[in-house]
Each structure stands twice: as C-alpha cells, then as structure tokens.
C-alpha cells in the first residue's frame, strides 16, 4: 500500500474512514496488555500520528521489541480520535518492522543538552527540535530562491575553489594535491605551486562576491547561494568554519536602493517563515524561546531604523556616560562588537537597524568611499559629517544576533579602486580580472552578504549557530 506522509494525513479530513499506510520512527510506546499506543513520526511534521494497536490483532512478540527510535510501517483505518492530544489516529491492522533500535540509542532520553547532541549530530536530526530546525532551514532556502526569482535576479554559481581572497584577511583553507612531506621551494624558501594541480596557490572561497560582481555587470542582478569557508580559530556561538552565504549583486543600485533591498528581502524571509512554518515555530516558541514569535512579528511591524556609524557611536557613548557597561571599547574608528550592535537594536531602538558609512580602515577595499570634507573627514548618508573617510557600507543589525547582513555600494572607479588595492598592499596578481570590470564599461553597483545560518538562528530562536546546520564544522571538529 502506498505511503501517506503524516503531514498530509493530519491535514486531510477527507482521509478519515479510509485505509492508510504510514512509515516512520517511533517516538514513544505505551499501553497495557490489551491496547498499545505508538507515536510515529516520519519527519514531515513536528506532529506525530498515534497508532492504536489491539494486542489481539498484532502478535505480542512483534510489539515487545518496538522501542523509541525503531523504524516501522503501520497500516490501518484512519479514524477520529477520542483521546486528547490528537484529532485523528490509526486503528492498526498490520505492522512491519524495518529496523529495531537497541537500548543504547543516544537520543532515547529526554532532557539531553545541545552540547551532548552535537556529539551525536548524525542522530540528533531525529529529535523534535532538530527536525523543526531543519524543516525551517528548508523553507528559508525556498523563501530566498522565490524572492530573487520573482524580483528578476539570476541564480549565479561562483567557484568554491579560488586563487583570490575576497576579504583580504588570509584566513583561508588551502586546496592542494601536493605531497606535504616533500614541498618544492624557491631560492627564498617560499613554496612553489607550479607542480600543483592548478599551477598556483588555491583555497576554498570565503565569499563569492567578487565573482558575483562580474555576473551583475553582465546580467544586471544576480544572487549566489552556496557554501563558504573561513579558517578562523573562533570557538563562539556565532562562527562556523563552513557555512552558507546569500550574496546578491545589482548593477545601477545606489546606497538608498541597497538598504531598501536588504529590508524588503529579510522581511520577506521572516514573513515566509510565519506563513509556512507555523507548527515548527510554535514548538520552538514553547520549548526554546518563548519570545520567538513575538520577535518575528516585530520585524514586520515597522521600518528598520537607518543611521550612520557616527550617529551609532554617539548613542553608545551617551549610554556609557549614563552607566551602561560594555566589555569592548566603542570609540569612533572601532569595529563594533555584537554587544554594541545588540544594544542599539534591543535596548535603544527596539527594532532592527541598518547602519551605514563605516570608517574606511575597518571595511573592505572594494567599498565606495564617501565624499571628502575640507577637514579630511567625509560626508555620508543623510549628510552626517564623520571625522575621517568613510565607506558606503549598509549593515543590518538584528535582535539576538547583531550583524545579520553586511552590504555596501562597490567602488566603480578604476583609479580609486586601484589606489585602494595598492594602499592595502593586495597582490595585483589576484586582482587584475576584478579591475577589468572597472576598465571595460564600469557601472555603479551594490550588494550584500547574508550568512544563512545567522538567519536560521534568528528565525528558530536557537542560541548556538552549531545547532542550525546539520553537521557543524568548527575548530577541532570535522566529524560525520
């Protein structure tokens, strides 16, 4: 008999009275000598279906070995339930066991910590919490593709193996086929790569942005959505060595238009979650964070605050003067920490913030610089005067997360971009092709990057980024 997914079964009243077949994993089994109740889940929904087993119909030897985690197929008549907790149940007529589950199944007991479950990441996916998170992760991916497709963007595939460092930080995983015990070196002791697979030093990408800009100058509006890699020894709840990024790039887009895009896009994603993930969000709101639904609804209520970095520093300095304590300094020119960003969002404005016009010294080389002032500073968004040169950055700050989007207008001038590359001593061998976009038919353009896992953190209310990706890659951990 053909399987019916439990999600469909529980939302299809026309199936009541019909014979159905369900397949899945046992959540619980209870009962007495006459009747057994099996809660079955197939991963299609947070909800289980109750299988009512009359022990006179099903062999007792078959039932006694069924434990939490066992996999089985049950067929029977779907009827309205007389008990509490479910609207329908299956009056079982036959059971086929696909796989029994021994008592050492690591996910049997309730109340396990997330740290414990990370050690069993291959099994934690079967729990209610991680099932909910992974279904939401799927729906967020669908929301992203839907938004860009409907807004005229083209899905653009950028390389995972690259010879350039987009961020300029050097924290990249090297890709090589060389024998590491017998490396060839030149007269100055530097490793040579002419005998390597690609004939040059290559690494896993930290961002597809630079290649994405090439796509935008040809197709007008593109987005990337794929894995990226950072070899940073960061053991924090907000960092992974392997994570997914969404990076749209748009030709002829200015700073105001970029902020409009950022806000509209992220509101679309939150709205999609509320529309398509109601059962899972209600479960997470109950079990993980009882302010989750309120916070998600709050994102949709009002327009995001837009202020410059200089204005943000002034607010933070005033907060310090009024007695607020921060762990890290926040003077003009400092790279804001998550605690500063969250103060602005959660305490001061109580809504998401788009911060603009960061000091050029703490931002990437490719960002467009604001107009200079006679005093050596710059005038940026809303005419705010900063003491030093600033870039047209547009970062979105969210409650619970801090920075969730990092964006900017890109410098389209060949001469200005070249000067910045030289000032930062970025090797020209890595940049010649990127500069060609400014040499041949340059255009104004802008874009942003959104860490997919940080979006999932916000939407699910989970506290650790390692718990919103199936198999986290972190320093010292590459299991599964």
pLDDT tens digit string along 122-149? 999 999 999 999 999 999 999 999 999 9
Band of the pLDDT at 73, cuts 50, 70, 90? very high
Residue 224 and residue 370 in one domain: yes
Instruction: Let me know if residue 117 belongs to a domain.
Output: no
Residue 170: the pLDDT is: 58
Q: Distance between CA atoms of 465 and 453, rounded to whole angstroms? A: 6
Residue 84 has pLDDT above 90, yes or no: no
Alpha helices in 237-332 (DSSP H): 255-276, 278-287, 292-301, 309-321
Residue 229 and residue 331 in one domain: yes
HEC string for 441-478: CCCCEEEEEEEHHHHHHHHHCCCCHHHCCCCCCECCEC
Residue 438 has pLDDT above 90, yes or no: yes
Residue 331: the pLDDT is: 95
pTM as predicted: 0.94
- To the nearest whole percent, how much of the chain has pLDDT over 70? 99
Tell me what the mean pLDDT of segment 410-426 comes to. 93
Helix axis angle, 278-287 to 292-301, nearest 10° = 120
Q: 122 vs 126, 128, 243, CA distance in Å?
A: 9, 14, 18
Residue 78 and residue 227 in one domain: no
Tell me what the mean pLDDT of segment 72-92 comes to. 92
Residue 312 CB-density burial (10 A; 0-12 exposed, 13-18 middle, 19+ buried): buried
Over residues 190-243, the pLDDT tens digits come to 999 999 999 998 999 999 999 999 999 999 999 999 999 999 888 888 889 999
Instruction: Let me know if residue 253 belongs to a domain.
Output: yes
Residue 75 and residue 158 in one domain: no
Residue 72 and residue 212 in one domain: no
Residue 205: the pLDDT is: 94
Say if residues 351 and 345 touch (Cβ distance below 8 Å): yes
Instruction: Let me know if residue 52 belongs to a domain.
Output: yes
Band of the pLDDT at 85, cuts 50, 70, 90? confident
Length of the chain: 480
Say if residues 392 and 385 touch (Cβ distance below 8 Å): no
Instruction: Let me know if residue 177 belongs to a domain.
Output: no
Residue 388 and residue 260 in one domain: yes
Instruction: Let me know if residue 347 belongs to a domain.
Output: yes
Tokens representing residue 269 in the block: 């994603």
Q: Distance between CA atoms of 207 and 171, rounded to whole angstroms? A: 12
Tell me what the mean pLDDT of segment 170-194 comes to. 89
Residue 216 and residue 86 in one domain: no
- Assign residue 41 the CATH number of its domain: 2.40.50.140
Q: Distance between CA atoms of 173 and 162, rounded to whole angstroms? A: 10
Tell me what the mean pLDDT of segment 429-445 comes to. 92
Instruction: Let me know if residue 227 belongs to a domain.
Output: yes
Looking at the 3D structure of the chain, how many domains does it have? 2
Beta strands in 124-241, from DSSP E residues, in sequence order: 154-155, 161-162, 174-175, 202-204, 221-229
Residue 322 and residue 262 in one domain: yes
Residue 291 and residue 328 in one domain: yes
Residue 429 has pLDDT above 90, yes or no: no
Tell me the Cα Rg of the chain.
Answer: 27
Band of the pLDDT at 166, cuts 50, 70, 90? low
Q: Distance between CA atoms of 424 and 426, rounded to whole angstroms? A: 6
Residue 356 and residue 302 in one domain: yes
Say if residues 51 and 90 touch (Cβ distance below 8 Å): yes
Over residues 246-301, the pLDDT tens digits come to 999 999 999 999 999 999 999 999 999 999 999 999 999 999 999 999 999 999 99
Higher per-residue pLDDT: 103 or 247: 247
Tokens representing residue 147 in the block: 């938004």
Instruction: Let me know if residue 407 belongs to a domain.
Output: yes
Residue 163: the pLDDT is: 87
Instruction: Let me know if residue 187 belongs to a domain.
Output: no
What domain range is 81 assigned to? 6-99
Torsion over CA of 461, 467, 468 and 470, rounded to 10 degrees? -160
- Assign residue 134 the CATH number of its domain: 3.30.930.10
Residue 167: the pLDDT is: 62
Residue 165 and residue 293 in one domain: yes
């Amino acid at each position: 008999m053909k399987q019916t997914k439990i999600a469909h079964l529980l939302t299809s009243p026309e199936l009541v009275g019909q014979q159905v077949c369900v397949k899945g994993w046992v959540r619980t089994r209870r009962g007495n000598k006459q009747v057994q109740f099996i809660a079955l889940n197939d991963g299609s929904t947070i909800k289980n279906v109750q299988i009512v087993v009359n022990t006179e119909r099903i062999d007792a030897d078959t039932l006694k070995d069924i434990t939490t985690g066992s996999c089985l197929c049950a067929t029977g008549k779907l009827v309205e339930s007389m008990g509490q907790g479910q609207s329908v149940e299956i009056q079982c007529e036959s059971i086929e066991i696909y796989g029994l589950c021994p008592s050492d199944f690591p996910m049997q007991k309730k109340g396990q910590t997330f740290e414990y479950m990370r050690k069993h990441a291959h099994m934690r996916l079967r729990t209610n919490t991680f099932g909910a998170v992974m279904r939401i992760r799927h729906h967020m991916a669908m929301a992203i593709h839907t938004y860009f497709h409907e807004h005229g963007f083209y899905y653009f595939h950028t390389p995972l193996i690259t010879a350039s460092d987009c961020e300029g930080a050097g924290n990249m995983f090297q890709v090589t086929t060389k024998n590491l015990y017998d490396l060839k070196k030149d007269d100055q002791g530097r490793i040579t790569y002419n005998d390597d697979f690609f004939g040059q030093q290559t690494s896993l990408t930290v961002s597809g942005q630079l290649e994405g800009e090439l796509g935008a100058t040809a197709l007008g509006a593109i987005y990337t959505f794929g894995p990226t890699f950072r070899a940073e020894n960061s053991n924090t709840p907000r960092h992974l060595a392997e994570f997914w990024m969404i990076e749209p790039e748009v030709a002829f887009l200015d700073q105001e238009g970029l902020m409009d895009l950022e806000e509209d896009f992220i509101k679309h994603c939150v709205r999609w979650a509320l529309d398509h993930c109601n059962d899972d969000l209600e479960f997470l709101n109950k079990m993980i964070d009882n302010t989750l639904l309120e916070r998600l609804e709050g994102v949709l209520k009002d327009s995001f605050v837009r202020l410059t970095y200089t204005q943000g520093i002034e607010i933070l300095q005033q907060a310090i003067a009024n007695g607020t304590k921060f762990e890290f300094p926040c003077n003009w020119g400092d790279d804001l920490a998550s605690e500063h960003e969250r103060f602005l969002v959660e305490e001061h404005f109580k809504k998401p913030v788009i911060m603009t016009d960061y000091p050029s010294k703490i931002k990437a080389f490719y960002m467009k610089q604001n107009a200079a002032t006679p005093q050596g500073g710059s005038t940026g968004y809303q005419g705010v005067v900063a003491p030093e040169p600033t870039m047209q950055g547009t970062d979105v700050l969210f409650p619970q997360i801090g920075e969730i989007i990092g964006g900017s207008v890109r410098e389209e001038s060949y001469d200005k971009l070249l000067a910045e590359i030289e000032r930062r001593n970025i090797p020209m061998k890595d940049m010649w092709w990127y500069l060609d976009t400014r040499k041949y038919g340059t255009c104004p353009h802008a874009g942003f990057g959104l860490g997919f896992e940080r979006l999932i953190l916000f939407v699910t209310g989970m506290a650790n980024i390692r718990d919103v990706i199936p198999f986290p890659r972190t320093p010292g951990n590459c299991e599964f």
